[in-house]
Structures are given as C-alpha cells and as structure tokens.
Amino acid sequence: MGLQRSPFEAASTGPQTSSTAGGWQGESPAEEARLPPIQRLRRAESRRWPLPPGAGRSCPQKSAETLSSQYGLHLLLAGLLLMFAWAVHAVGVAKSAVLAYLLSLMALQLLWMVWYLGRRCAHKRLIQDKDTQAGARWLKCGITLFAIITLIMDSFKIGYFIGFSSCLSITEGIFPVAHAVHTVLQVYFLWCHAKDVIQSFKTLERFGVIHSVFTNLLLWTNGILAESKHQLNEHKERLITLGFGNISIELDDHTPLCNCTSATLCSIFSQGIYYLYPFNTEYHILASTMLYVVWKNIGRKVEYLQPHKRPFKFQGTAIGSTLGLVVFITTIAVVVVYLIQIGRSKLKSELALIMFYLYAITVLALMCAAGLVAILIYRLEDNSLDISKNPARKLDADLLVGTASGSWLLSWGSILAIIYAQSHPAYTWFSLPYSVLVIIEKYIQNLFIIESIHREHGKNNYDIKTLRILTVSSGSNLSPTASYKEIYNGTNGKLSPTFYGNSYPSEDSSSCALRENINQSRIPVPPSSPDFSFTWRKFSVNSKRSILKNVAVFLFLCNLSLWIPQAFGCRPEYDNGLEEMVFGFEPWIIVVNLAMPFSIFYRMHSAASLFEVSCKM
C-alpha cells in the first residue's frame, strides 16, 4: 500500500522507515533543486498528498519531546525554588548556592554548544534544512546589542568583585567571567544556527536545546530577582524619607560588609550595574525564545520557502515616525523628572505621579486610537490568513497575550484598590483612567499584532507579478467572462498542486478534483471598466497600506518608549500608595514583583513584533 506499511514491512526494512517515512521526503530543497524539472514537479505534487497520520513521526521522537520538556521543567523548578529560598532568607541558602547552580547550568550549555558547533563544522558540506521564518536578521541584531551591554555589565561586576574581594564569595567573581564567555558563544550560536531544523541526533539535540532554553530563563529570573530587590530597596528608602514608619522596613543585601579598595569606582560599578540590568534581562529572555523555536523545529518537516529579505524602509512613514519620536523624547524627559522628584517630599512625589499619569494617559489614548484605525482597515479589507504551522509565529502570539496578563493583573489591582479604598487622595484618581487604558490598549494592540503576523501581506500587493489571463468561459452566457488568474512567481513559493507555471492537468486525471475547482473559479466580474476599477483599487490599497505602516511604526516607537519607565524603576504601582493601603504592603509588593517582569517583557516583545509587522507591510 505504500502509505500504510504493515508491521512485516516495517520489520524488514529496518529503522529508517520509521524515521523518514516516504523515502525521499526528508531530502533538502537544495538537493532537490538539482533534479530534473519533471521529477521536482512530481515531488511537489506528491507532497500535497498527506501521509498517513504519524508516518512522519516515530514514537521515540514524541517520547524525546516529552522527556526533554520535562527535564527542562525540572531545571526551572529547582532553580526557581533555590532563588525563592534565597529571596526569603531560607536557613543556609546563600547567594553562592544560587550562583553555583547557574554556573553549572551554563557550563553544561557551553559544552553542548561547543560539541554542536564542532559537529556542524566537521559536516559543513551536508545540506541543512532551515526554517526561514525563524531567527530574523533584526532579531539577531537586537540580541547582539543587548549582549554587548550585558558584557559591559559583566565587566562592571568583575570590577565590583575586585573592589570588595575581601568579603565576597569566590563564586561572585567566577560568575561574571563565565557569564561573559557564555554570552559570546551563545550569540555566535544564535547568529549561525537560529534557523537550523535539526534532523540528526535528535534526542540529544532536544536535551541540549531545552537545557539552553531553561538556562536562559533562569538567568532571566536571576536578573529579575536582583533588579526587584534593588527597586524594593529604593522604594523603602523613599518611604523612610517620606516618614512612613508603620511599614516593616528592612533593607535587603545592599552593600557588602567590608570597604571597597576604591570607593568611587565601586559606587560607579554598583550604580551602573542596576542601569544595565534591564538590557541583560531582555537579552536572556530573547535568547530563550529564539532557542525555544529551535527546539520546536527539531525533526520538523519544513516546506521550502524563499526567504524574502524585506529591509525596513522609513519611506512613507513620516507621520508615524515623527509622532513616535516625539513620544520617545517626551518619555525620557518624564522619566528623568519622575526619578528626580519622587520620594523627595510628599508634594513633589504627588506632582511627579500626576505628571506621569497625564503623560501615560495621553500616549495610551493615542495608541488605542491608532490601533483601532488599523483594525478597522483590516475589517474593510477582506484578506485571508496564513494558518500554516509556524512555531516562531505561534510563540509570538502566545507570548503577547501571556505577558500582557502581567500588566493586566497590576491594572486590575489598581482598579480594585480604587473601588475598595476608604479614602482617595486627589492624585490617586488618575490611576483609574490609566489602568483602564493600559487594559484597553494592550487588548487592541494584541488584536492588531496577531492579525498582522497571520496576514498574507504579499497576497494583496499589486507590485507582484500579476498575470491576467483572459479565458473564455464556454458554459456561461450570463455575464462577461473575464477572470483574473494570478500566478505568484516566488512571492511565497506556495504554488497550487498542479499549476507549475501554467501547466494544466491532463484531461485524463479525472480522479483529481482540481478541475472542479477551476470551473468554480470562473466567477464573473461585474461589467465595469477594468482599468478604472484597477486604478481606483490600487490607490485605495496603497493609501490603506500607508496608514497601516504609519500605525505600526508609531506603535513600535511608543512600545519602545513605554518600556523605559518600567525598566528603569519609574513604577507608579509602588509610589501611588493606594494599592499598598488596600492590599497591605507585603501582599502588594509580591504581586508587583511577580507581574512587573512580564509587563516589562511585553513592551519589548510587542516592539519587536511591531517592527516585524512594519517590515512586512
């Protein structure tokens, strides 16, 4: 039967039948390109015939997937609990225990990466499957930028350790050195292999990649924890300045117990480290997501898609860019003023809060309006969605909704606090529209981004080579018979099964239902001048596209701007005070510290997604 092998056949043909069912289905596109055209055509067609379920995937591979994901979860859980134990000052759990755990994870990842890179170098001639939709160039550039800042942070940490070397554990000196080596090698790995679709040593590679994913996730958590502790200490210091004595205030591992050999340098290092932490955490979470896509791609059968390099052009995005840049500059100004004013005195704190709320409300309202316009335009266009399998895109969409939940939780906290608070100082009322707008803005923006990344933007574009073939319908005499047939040459490489160029199926292939489809497609066009209609549509499509592009660029810059206040400690959720009064100091601090990292990551992630959307348009 071919499509469904009997156990007898499976036994006689050995293991290769289960790993690559269909024989040549596992060949790389480059190898296939060397074949004569007729054979290529046949293969393209037969690929459309679905294999029986499971033929492309053997049991051990499914097991390896479950095994490795469970292994990764254990790494994460053990690490999280260790950090939790350190954070709650568990008996006997020192910072060095956490660092030692992270060091061993990084060492293991380094070993695996060296082995992988070595093997790739040794088998350079072997043609490798690539997932063209994974590891975009701008993503790699972004991660490299963050990695460079991470390296600066590591050097600061080394300097800090040298200064306080007499009273710091040795692991605090080894950690930044190992982390720097890890960062350099990992960035190289991601540059060269983020698109890899691994087809050999699959079980081992699954473990290696998932180990890397969770190592980065734990390094992210470690960064978040250090940053949260720092922010909390700053907040407590402000409360002491403002004279709140009723809250249990104890500062948490602020400075080592000995003197620094060079006090000025140490101060610069310790201050600098905390300004660089946000970039470090972004680096790790981005690396983690990229590696996760590599993991999802292991053993996958990818369709060969022509990679389209669509560099971002600022052309036609003047309004969006200008407005966005205005928001960006305003943000920096607002953050600087906020950080200087907050905690100085009660009045100055309140004024800083009001300023921040007014600024945020304006920006969020503009973003809501822009998002709504874009969605309305989408509703007017009747475009189709690309729902083919794409791990990178699925992860993007899931992360958008998942991480938005972090800031939604904070917003609901603020709303509940306003509802249940017994007294409402004037400035706290600004928190209500702010929280509501945060919810609505992310709701709309997620809708826009998720629809954008699923749209087939090339399909509606009139710049592509459109071939209008006038056919004369023989069966219908109700209407003019012109129908437009578009053959997309290389826009996304997906050609219909039997139409390669314009080769039609032979009359004999009556068992294929394709002819039925052809007849169905001869749908009459209303009898108007096609040229006028075409020009008008082209104009309409172009103007819509221009608006969408401006919206995407504007939202991209706004998200980048809104990342700054949260990442650099401008957090009205702390300073407002209303939530702390209603929920209690500790419960609310726990909520903020759990939700804030996701909220920060959301902004960077949505900015990245919006950049991709602008490039696609």
Q: What is the CA radius of gyration of the chain?
A: 29
Smallest distance from the beta carbon of 333 to a copy of itself, in angstroms? 32
Q: Which residues ranging from 420 to 439 are in contact with a copy of itself (CB under 8 A)?
A: 420-422, 439
Two tokens, residue 499: 């139409």
**Integer distance in angstroms from the first to the last C-alpha of the chain?**
46
Residue 9 in contact with a copy of itself, rule: CB under 8 A: yes
Smallest distance from the beta carbon of 487 to a copy of itself, in angstroms? 7
Smallest distance from the beta carbon of 369 to a copy of itself, in angstroms? 18
Residue 481 in contact with a copy of itself, rule: CB under 8 A: no
- Given candidates 2, 36, 37, 475, which one binds a copy of itself under the rule CB under 8 A? 2
By the 10 Å C-beta count (0-12 exposed, 13-18 middle, 19+ buried), 148 is classed as middle
Two tokens, residue 433: 């529209």
Residue 3 in contact with a copy of itself, rule: CB under 8 A: yes
Q: Which residues ranging from 156 to 185 are in contact with a copy of itself (CB under 8 A)?
A: none
Two tokens, residue 544: 């819509």
Q: Which residue has the tokens 């180990």?
A: 211
- Given candidates 485, 542, 546, 616, which one binds a copy of itself under the rule CB under 8 A? 485
Nearer to a copy of itself, 45 or 237 (CB): 45
Residue 45 in contact with a copy of itself, rule: CB under 8 A: yes
Return phi, psi of residue 455, to 5°: -75, 155
Q: Round to whole Å and give the CA distance between 606 and 404.
A: 10
**Buried b vs exposed e over 456-470: b needs ≥16 C-beta within 10 Å?**
bbbebeeebeeeeee
In the chain, how long is the greatest CA-to-CA distance?
A: 95
Single-letter code of the amino acid located at 141: C
- How remote is the C-alpha of 18 from its chain's centroid? 34
Residue 493 in contact with a copy of itself, rule: CB under 8 A: no
Return phi, psi of residue 262, to 5°: -135, 100
- Given candidates 513, 529, 531, 532, which one binds a copy of itself under the rule CB under 8 A? 513
Nearer to a copy of itself, 42 or 346 (CB): 42
- Of 182-190, 307-315, 335-343, 405-413, the segment contacting a copy of itself by CB under 8 A is 405-413
Smallest distance from the beta carbon of 517 to a copy of itself, in angstroms? 4
Number of chain residues interacting with a copy of itself (CB under 8 A): 127
Q: Which residue has the tokens 């998720």?
A: 450
Nearer to a copy of itself, 138 or 504 (CB): 504
Residue 416 in contact with a copy of itself, rule: CB under 8 A: yes
- Given candidates 379, 470, 475, 478, which one binds a copy of itself under the rule CB under 8 A? 379
The 535-564 site mask, x for binding a copy of itself (CB under 8 A), equals: --x---------------------------
Residue 523 in contact with a copy of itself, rule: CB under 8 A: yes
Smallest distance from the beta carbon of 553 to a copy of itself, in angstroms? 22
Residue 319 in contact with a copy of itself, rule: CB under 8 A: no
- Given candidates 177, 366, 450, 594, which one binds a copy of itself under the rule CB under 8 A? 450
- Of 175-183, 250-258, 311-319, 406-414, the segment contacting a copy of itself by CB under 8 A is 406-414
Residue 413 in contact with a copy of itself, rule: CB under 8 A: yes
Single-letter code of the amino acid located at 479: S
Beta carbons of 522 and 481 less than 8 angstroms apart: yes
Residue 478: CB atoms within 10 Å: 8
Beta carbons of 238 and 343 less than 8 angstroms apart: yes
Q: Round to whole Å and give the CA distance between 426 and 262.
A: 47
- How remote is the C-alpha of 50 from its chain's centroid? 31
Residue 446 in contact with a copy of itself, rule: CB under 8 A: yes
Residue 598 in contact with a copy of itself, rule: CB under 8 A: no
Residue 447 in contact with a copy of itself, rule: CB under 8 A: yes
Nearer to a copy of itself, 53 or 245 (CB): 53
DSSP string covering 431-496: HHHHHHHHHHHHHHHHHHHHHHHHB-GGGG-TTS---------SS--SS---------SSSS----
Nearer to a copy of itself, 134 or 417 (CB): 417
What are the C-alpha distances in Å from 275 to residues 154, 164, 279, 294, 407?
13, 20, 8, 31, 22
Q: Which residues ranging from 260 to 299 are in contact with a copy of itself (CB under 8 A)?
A: none
Q: Which residues ranging from 14 to 33 are in contact with a copy of itself (CB under 8 A)?
A: 15, 18, 22-23
- Given candidates 138, 484, 536, 539, which one binds a copy of itself under the rule CB under 8 A? 484
**Buried b vs exposed e over 308-336: b needs ≥16 C-beta within 10 Å?**
eeeeeeeeebeebbebbeebbeebeebbe
Smallest distance from the beta carbon of 598 to a copy of itself, in angstroms? 12
Q: Which residues ranging from 52 to 111 are in contact with a copy of itself (CB under 8 A)?
A: 52-60, 62-63, 66-67, 69-70, 73-74, 77-78, 80-82, 84-85, 88-93, 97
- Given candidates 238, 310, 454, 544, which one binds a copy of itself under the rule CB under 8 A? 454
Residue 305 in contact with a copy of itself, rule: CB under 8 A: no
Nearer to a copy of itself, 272 or 497 (CB): 497
- Of 106-114, 341-349, 362-370, 419-427, the segment contacting a copy of itself by CB under 8 A is 419-427
- Of 196-204, 329-337, 381-389, 545-553, the segment contacting a copy of itself by CB under 8 A is 381-389
Two tokens, residue 519: 């007849």
Single-letter code of the amino acid located at 556: F
Q: Round to whole Å and give the CA distance between 340 and 482.
A: 69
